Amino acid sequence: MELKDLYRDVILDHNRKPRNFGHIDQPDASAEGHNPLCGDRLTIWLKMQGDRVADVRFEGKGCAISTASASLMTEAIKGKDKASIGELFTRVHTLLTDQDAVASPELGKLAALSGVREFPARVKCASLCWHTLNAALDQGGKTVSTE
Amino acid sequence: MAASVMPAPRPKAYDVQRVRRDFPILARQVNGKPLVFLDSAASSQRALPVIEAVDRYEKTSHANVHRGVHALSQEATEAFEGARDRVRRFVNANSTREIIFTRGTTEGINLVAQSYARSRLGRGDEILITALEHHANIVPWQIVCEQVGCTLKVAPIDQRGELIFDQFEKLLSPRTKIVGVAHVSNALGTILPVKRIIEAAHRVGALVLVDGAQAVPHAKVDMKALDADFYVFSAHKLYGPTGIGVLYGKEALLNSMPPWQGGGDMIKSVSFERTTFNDLPWKFEAGTPNISGAIGLGAAIDYVEGLGIEAIAAHEQHLLQVATEALTRIPGIEIVGTAAHKASVISFTMAGVHPHDIGTILDSEGVAVRTGHHCAMPVMEFFRIPATARASFACYNTVEEIDRLVAALNKVREVFG
């Protein structure tokens, strides 16, 4: 277990300067995520063009892993349709939980999250934003919880 | 088998290295570094005499209590009831009838809420707690308020994390039936003026339940001197086992209360028409109790009193002072909870770094601290922070470990730039 595998430069950079941070007025969809264990909260807003995410923003308070993961996610999904976002989520999930997973090229910068799996207590920090995104895409806009 | 061991003679000076040898777990490594355990406020480690007392009981004397005429059952009963008397002496209660074994602090509070409050309180009655409480001293009262229509009131704290006593007194009225208050705040370390609180509450006729979970490891508690109506604590914060705790209650009160749970051991006779409940304390102990836990608690009390609780407290206060000064010198660290009287707990935040990141990096250095809301979300809300990191010090911690904490915190700064 190596600390520098968890806190890679990409992660620290996205924590310091989260991309797509803020909210969208009149979003087409939004959802709130909550990790009751640590109190992390996160809201995601989406602007859709048909099946495609035209714009995405998030706000929240959380640790470096949860903030960076959300920031990286927003960059990765912008312009993608639901089906490719679903595929990406599966890849991220595998990366976070499967010890033997090799980061596929499709993951791009999201591969920086591969160190999280060495820290099981932190996997939920990284996955909160994805569960919240799924809730927003499914609409309903209800609060999702990691528990 | 006797639950007691003779207390070791008190050393002239507090010999922390000798104490550490009594805690086998402290010898282990975490992430390739010697463990620095600074999370005793969540759960302290087990002293060897506790582990051995439980082990001895399980290997030689286990049987169910209060039941058989056979030798093992009698030995187990003697050890179990011996532990109860050990607790009675520890808290200076009048009688073992006032010592109810529970699963822990939380269960003790739920017992009082469901047995006492639920049967006595109604609309217009109030339960008063403080803004410092652990969820265990909030939620059981909320549940009973929902059940009977009484109201929960909360006395505020100030920016240092101290109870604002004037405001607490103003909230007291003849409507106040129960005051629930922590002896020591788990999130901030604040020591509350429980004696004054109890006197003020009694003046308006309210009963007082004191949550002593964080107090008993650090201070001598004396039921006769304190005059609390109920006092609850857990063994596992006192170097004893998990799953066992104590509800102290004044005998007349406990006698007047209905049983909480029904079952074996809490009855004298049962027929389908009528059941006669057992006497105190067993009236509140339905089912086979945690026998080995009680024996472990007895051994833990022996251990603590062998070291001397004043000697432990003096040692911990020294560590608190050293750690407070050391953390104050680290740029960006802010200590949350700066009460004049504190137990050996330091909650803190670090500018620009979430407590969970602090926790992970400290762990990689072998340093265990608690991070999160400490089951005191209203306290976090008051300070407008989602969480803190918390270092807590026990009888076995050293000044060198504070150096390790400081070095690890510098590492956090290094990682986060």
Strand order in the sheet with B345-350: B333-336, B345-350, B388-392, B370-372
8 Å CB contact between B296 and B54: yes
A63 to B356: CB separation less than 8 angstroms, yes or no: yes
Instruction: Tally C-beta pairs within 8 A across A and B.
Output: 48
Residues of B serving a catalytic function are: 375
Encode pLDDT of A56-99 as tens digits. Answer: 999 998 999 999 999 999 999 999 999 999 999 999 999 999 88
Residue located via tokens 């990409």:
A10
Percent of chain B with pLDDT over 70: 97
- State the pLDDT at residue B1: 42
Among the partner residues A12, A39, A64, nearest to B387 by beta-carbon distance? A39
8 Å CB contact between B272 and B88: no
Encode pLDDT of B221-266 as tens digits. Answer: 999 999 999 999 999 999 999 999 999 999 999 999 999 999 988 9
Helices (H) and strands (E) in chain B, counts: 15, 17
Q: How far apart are CA B182 and CA B138, in angstroms?
A: 11
- State the pLDDT at residue B2: 43
- State the pLDDT at residue B282: 96
- State the pLDDT at residue B161: 98
B354 to A1: CB separation less than 8 angstroms, yes or no: no
Chain B interface mutation, best of A14, A63, A66, A123, highest count of B Cβ atoms under 10 Å: A63
Mean pLDDT score, B399-413? 97
8 Å CB contact between B213 and B102: no
Split at pLDDT 50, 70, 90, the class of A109 is very high
8 Å CB contact between A24 and A141: no
Among the partner residues A12, A40, A65, nearest to B416 by beta-carbon distance? A12
Split at pLDDT 50, 70, 90, the class of B7 is low
- State the pLDDT at residue B3: 46
Chain A interface mutation, best of B29, B360, B370, highest count of A Cβ atoms under 10 Å: B360
Among chain A residues, the shortest Cα distance to B389 is held by A38
Q: How far apart are CA B213 and CA B232, in angstroms?
A: 7
- State the pLDDT at residue A142: 54
Write out the two tokens for B323: 């750690």
Among chain A residues, the shortest Cα distance to B365 is held by A3
Residue ranges of chain B whose CB lies within 8 Å of a chain A CB? 31, 353-357, 360-361, 364, 371-373, 377, 380, 386-387, 415-417
Encode pLDDT of B330-370 as tens digits. Answer: 999 999 999 999 999 999 999 999 999 999 999 999 999 99
Mean pLDDT of chain B: 95
B356 to A39: CB separation less than 8 angstroms, yes or no: no
8 Å CB contact between B298 and B3: yes
Q: How far apart are CA B184 and CA B192, in angstroms?
A: 6
Q: One-letter amino acid identity for B136?
A: A
B386 to A41: CB separation less than 8 angstroms, yes or no: yes
Chain A interface mutation, best of B354, B382, B388, highest count of A Cβ atoms under 10 Å: B354
Residues 6 or more apart whose Cβ sits within 8 Å of residue B170: none
8 Å CB contact between B118 and B144: yes
Write out the two tokens for B224: 């006769």
Considering the four listed CATH numbers 3.40.1350.10, 3.20.190.10, 3.40.640.10, 3.30.160.100, the one that applies to the domain covering B53-305 is 3.40.640.10
- Does residue A36 have a cis bond before it (omega within 30 degrees)? no
Contacts of B380 in chain A (CB under 8 A): 39
Checking if the pLDDT of A131 tops 80, the result is yes
- State the pLDDT at residue B8: 47
Residue located via tokens 């740029």:
B331
- State the pLDDT at residue B22: 98
Q: How far apart are CA B369 and CA B356, in angstroms?
A: 10
- State the pLDDT at residue B237: 98
8 Å CB contact between B102 and B108: yes
Split at pLDDT 50, 70, 90, the class of A146 is low
Checking if the pLDDT of B204 tops 80, the result is yes
Q: How far apart are CA B251 and CA B279, in angstroms?
A: 11
- State the pLDDT at residue B410: 97
Split at pLDDT 50, 70, 90, the class of A30 is very high
Among the partner residues A61, A64, A122, nearest to B386 by beta-carbon distance? A61
Contacts of A69 in chain B (CB under 8 A): none
Residues 6 or more apart whose Cβ sits within 8 Å of residue A57: A20, A21, A22, A23, A24, A44, A45, A74
Contacts of A1 in chain B (CB under 8 A): 31, 364
State how far the alpha carbon of B152 is from the alpha carbons of A3, B161, B374, B393, in Å. Answer: 45, 20, 21, 33
Q: How far apart are CA A45 and CA A41, in angstroms?
A: 14
- Tell me which H or E stretch contains B152: strand B151-155
Checking if the pLDDT of B139 tops 60, the result is yes
Domain ranges of chain B: 16-40+308-416, 53-305
Split at pLDDT 50, 70, 90, the class of A103 is confident
- State the pLDDT at residue A36: 78
- State the pLDDT at residue B390: 98
Considering the four listed CATH numbers 3.90.1010.10, 3.30.540.10, 3.40.50.2300, 3.40.50.150, the one that applies to the domain covering A3-145 is 3.90.1010.10
State how far the alpha carbon of B335 is from the alpha carbons of B183, B246, B250, B298, in Å. Answer: 20, 32, 38, 35
**CA of B83 vs chain A CAs: smallest distance (Å):** 36
DSSP B350: E
B360 to A41: CB separation less than 8 angstroms, yes or no: no
Split at pLDDT 50, 70, 90, the class of A100 is confident
**CA of B159 vs chain A CAs: smallest distance (Å):** 21
A12 to B364: CB separation less than 8 angstroms, yes or no: no
Contacts of B353 in chain A (CB under 8 A): 64
What CATH number labels B16-40+308-416? 3.90.1150.10
Q: What is the DSSP string of chain A?
A: --HHHHS-HHHHHHHHS-TTBS--SS-SEEEEEEETTTTEEEEEEEEEETTEEEEEEEEEE--HHHHHHHHHHHHHHTT-BHHHHHHHHHHHHHHHH-TT----GGGGGGGGGGGGGG-GGGHHHHHHHHHHHHHHHS-S-PPEE--
Checking if the pLDDT of B175 tops 50, the result is yes
- State the pLDDT at residue B231: 98
Checking if the pLDDT of A125 tops 80, the result is yes
Measure CA B151 to chain center. 26
Percent of chain A with pLDDT over 70: 94
Checking if the pLDDT of B126 tops 50, the result is yes
The model carries a pTM of 0.93
A37 to B386: CB separation less than 8 angstroms, yes or no: no
Encode pLDDT of A33-53 as tens digits. Answer: 988 777 788 999 999 999 999
Checking if the pLDDT of A144 tops 80, the result is no
Strand order in the sheet with B151-155: B99-102, B245-249, B230-234, B207-211, B176-182, B126-130, B151-155
Q: Sign of torsion, CA B43 B48 B54 B59?
A: positive
Tell me whether the CATH fold assigned to B16-40+308-416 matches the one assigned to B53-305: no
Split at pLDDT 50, 70, 90, the class of A2 is confident
- Does the ipTM surpass 0.85? yes
Domain ranges of chain A: 3-145
**CA of B191 vs chain A CAs: smallest distance (Å):** 25
